[in-house]
C-alpha cells in the first residue's frame, strides 16, 4: 500500500510508503522509521488520527493504537486539541544519556524500563520510623559525617579493610564526588561498555575521555583492561555485582585477575579504582572487591537504594583515608552531611530482623524472576545471558523496532544505545553492530511479578523481528 501527500504541518508534505499492511504495528513502524531517519523532525505536527485513517482506509481506532504505541516508545507526544507531535528534546534537567534513559509519563501495561526495585519487596519504613526519635539531632555542623553506630555496622560488613568509610546521598553522589577528586580535564577513565549512562554524562561534564572496556559474564575482561591501561588512565570505573545493564557479577578470581592486571601495568601509579556496588544486598553473588588486593587504590561504593529504597538516598563509600577525607571536606562546602535522621533509619533497617528477612526474600524473588524469564527467553531462541540483580540485557535485531513493537503490546523497556560508550554508540548509529550480533535493550526483570511466559512471548517476538526499513 502506498499513501502519498499526507500533510504533516503547514509547510511540509511527506510520503508514508510501503506499509506491509495497515495494522497498528505496521503504521507505528513506518512512522518510527521516518522519525529515526530524521524525515520527521522533533516538534513536527503529525496528521490527525482521522486524516491518516481516511488516507489508509482503516478505522480511526487502528491509527489511534499506532499513535499510542509511538507515544509509549517515546517517539511522539499528544498536546490535546493541538494534535500529536514528534517528541523533541527533553528538559535540560537531565544530562544527555539520562534523557535517553528517561521513560515518558504515558501509562503502559508493564513498565520494565526504569531500573528500579519492586516497591513491594522493600522493607517497611513504618516500624523504623516509629523507633527513630521525632526530634532531629542538633550536633555541631562539623560533627563526623557518619553516625558512629552506622559506621560500625558498615565496617563489619565491608568487603575489604578500608581505612575510612563515610556516607553520601546515593551511589551516583559517591561516584561524582570521587571522580571530581581524582579526574582532571583531559584525563582518560576506563569504563565498562555497556555501562551505566550517567557515568558517561559525568565524564563529559568533567572533560574526561572514556576508554571503553568489553565485558563477559564475569564483568570486565582482563585483556581488554590491559589494553585500556596502556592509555594511562586516571581511574577505572566498574560495577562488581549485578552490572547495569548486563547483570554480570565478578567472581573473586576475576577480581584478582583485574587487580593483578593493574599491578602489572606501567605508568599508572596514581590510578584509582572506583567500584559501584549498587545492588549488593540483593545480589545472589558474594561480596567482591579489587580492594582485597589493591587497598590503597580502591574506593568501594555500596548503595542501599535497590535493597532498602531509592528515596532513602544513602550510599556508603570506603577507601584510602586521605582520599575519603578530601571527599568529606569538599562536601562540607555543600550539603555537609547526609541527614543523621535518615542514617538512623538505615541503621535500624540494617539490624532489624524483620527488615533483614525482607531483603533476603527480595534477593530470592529477584533471582527467581531472572531465572524464570531468562530460561523462557532462551527456550524461545533469544540468547539472553544469565544475569544477577534486577536487569537483563536482551539482544534484539533492531533496537528501535523492538521498542516500538513492545510499546504496541503495552510494554516499555530501555533503549540500549545510551548504555554504550562513545565509540560503541557511534558504531551503533552507523549500523556497525549488526555484524557484531545486533542491538540490545535493557529489561528490568525485577518489575516482573507474574506471567513470565506471556512476557517472554512478547519480548522474543520483538527481539527476533526486524521491521521493514531496518530501523
pLDDT tens digits, 160-193: 999 999 999 999 999 999 999 999 999 999 999 9
Query: How large a percentage of the chain has pLDDT more than 90?
Result: 63
The cell numbers describing 230, all together, are 596502556
The cell numbers describing 220, all together, are 570486565
Domain limits, the chain = 3-86, 96-120+355-464, 126-352
Assess whether pLDDT exceeds 80 at residue 7. no
Q: How confident is the model at residue 387 (pLDDT cuts 50, 70, 90)?
A: very high
Overall average pLDDT of the 139-148 stretch: 76
Sheet with 272-277: strands ordered across: 164-168, 315-319, 298-303, 272-277, 235-238, 188-192, 209-213
Assess whether pLDDT exceeds 70 at residue 426. no
Q: Report how far residue 120's alpha carbon sits from residue 129's, in angstroms, rounded to the nearest whole number.
A: 18
pLDDT at residue number 131: 82
pLDDT tens digits, 328-367: 999 988 888 899 999 999 999 999 999 999 999 999 999 9
Give the right CATH number for 96-120+355-464 from 3.40.605.10, 3.50.50.60, 3.90.1150.10, 3.40.50.2300: 3.90.1150.10
Q: What is the mean pLDDT of the chain?
A: 87
Give the right CATH number for 3-86 from 3.40.50.720, 3.40.50.300, 1.10.8.50, 1.10.10.10: 1.10.10.10
| Count of Cβ atoms closer than 10 Å to residue 246 Cβ | 25
Overall average pLDDT of the 100-115 stretch: 79
Residue 116 to residues 113, 244, 390, 436: CA-CA distances in angstroms? 9, 11, 8, 29
Give the right CATH number for 126-352 from 3.40.50.2300, 3.40.640.10, 1.10.1740.10, 3.40.50.970: 3.40.640.10
pLDDT at residue number 370: 97
pLDDT tens digits, 129-141: 888 875 556 566 6
Assess whether pLDDT exceeds 50 at residue 11. no
Which residues are bridge partners to 216 per DSSP? 219
Amino acid at each position: 500500500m502506498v499513501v502519498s501527500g499526507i500533510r504533516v504541518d503547514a509547510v511540509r508534505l511527506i510520503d508514508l510508503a510501503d506499509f506491509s499492511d495497515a495494522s497498528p504495528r505496521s503504521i507505528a513502524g513506518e512512522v518510527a522509521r521516518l522519525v529515526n531517519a530524521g524525515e520527521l523532525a522533533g516538534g513536527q505536527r503529525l496528521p490527525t488520527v482521522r486524516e491518516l485513517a481516511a488516507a489508509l482506509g482503516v478505522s480511526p481506532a487502528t491509527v489511534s493504537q499506532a499513535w499510542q504505541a509511538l507515544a509509549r516508545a517515546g517517539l511522539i507526544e499528544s498536546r490535546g486539541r493541538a494534535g500529536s507531535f514528534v517528541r523533541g528534546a527533553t528538559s535540560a534537567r537531565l544530562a544527555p544519556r539520562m534523557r535517553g534513559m528517561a521513560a515518558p509519563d504515558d501509562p503502559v501495561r508493564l513498565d520494565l524500563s526504569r531500573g528500579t526495585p519492586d516497591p513491594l519487596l522493600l522493607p517497611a519504613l513504618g516500624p523504623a520510623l516509629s523507633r527513630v526519635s521525632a526530634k532531629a539531632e542538633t550536633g555541631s555542623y562539623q560533627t563526623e559525617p557518619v553516625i558512629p553506630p552506622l559506621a560500625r555496622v558498615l565496617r563489619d560488613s565491608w568487603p575489604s579493610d578500608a581505612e575510612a568509610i563515610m556516607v553520601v546521598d546515593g551511589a551516583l553522589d559517591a561516584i561524582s564526588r570521587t571522580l571530581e577528586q581524582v579526574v582532571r580535564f583531559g584525563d582518560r577513565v576506563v569504563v565498562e561498555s555497556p555501562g551505566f549512562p550517567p557515568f558517561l554524562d559525568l565524564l563529559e561534564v568533567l572533560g574526561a575521555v572514556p576508554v571503553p572496556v568489553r565485558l563477559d559474564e564475569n564483568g570486565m575482561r582482563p585483556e581488554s583492561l590491559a589494553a585500556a591501561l596502556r592509555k594511562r588512565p586516571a581511574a577505572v570505573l566498574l560495577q562488581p555485582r549485578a552490572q547495569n545493564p548486563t547483570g554480570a557479577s565478578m567472581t573473586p578470581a576475576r577480581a584478582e585477575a583485574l587487580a593483578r592486571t593493574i599491578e602489572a601495568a606501567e605508568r599508572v601509579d596514581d590510578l584509582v579504582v572506583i567500584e559501584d556496588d549498587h545492588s549488593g544486598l540483593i545480589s545472589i553473588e558474594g561480596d567482591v572487591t579489587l580492594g582485597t588486593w589493591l587497598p590503597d587504590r580502591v574506593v568501594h561504593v555500596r548503595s542501599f537504594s535497590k535493597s532498602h529504597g531509592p528515596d532513602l538516598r544513602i550510599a556508603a563509600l570506603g577507601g584510602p583515608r586521605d582520599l575519603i577525607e578530601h571527599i568529606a571536606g569538599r562536601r562540607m562546602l555543600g550539603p555537609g552531611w547526609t541527614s543523621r535522621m535518615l542514617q538512623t533509619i538505615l541503621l535500624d533497617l540494617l539490624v532489624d530482623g524483620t527488615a533483614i528477612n525482607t531483603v533476603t526474600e527480595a534477593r530470592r524473588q529477584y533471582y527467581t524472576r531472572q531465572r524464570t524469564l531468562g530460561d523462557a527467553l532462551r527456550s524461545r531462541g533469544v540468547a539472553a545471558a544469565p544475569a544477577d540483580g534486577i536487569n537483563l540485557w536482551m539482544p534484539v535485531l533492531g533496537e528501535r523496532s523492538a521498542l516500538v513493537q513492545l510499546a504496541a503490546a503495552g510494554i516499555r523497556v530501555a533503549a540500549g544505545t545510551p548504555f554504550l560508550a562513545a565509540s560503541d554508540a557511534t558504531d551503533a548509529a552507523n549500523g556497525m553492530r549488526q555484524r557484531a550480533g545486533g542491538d540490545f535493550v535493557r529489561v528490568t526483570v525485577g518489575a516482573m511479578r507474574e506471567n513470565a511466559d506471556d512476557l517472554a512471548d512478547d519480548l522474543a517476538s520483538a527481539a527476533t523481528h526486524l521491521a521493514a526499513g531496518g530501523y
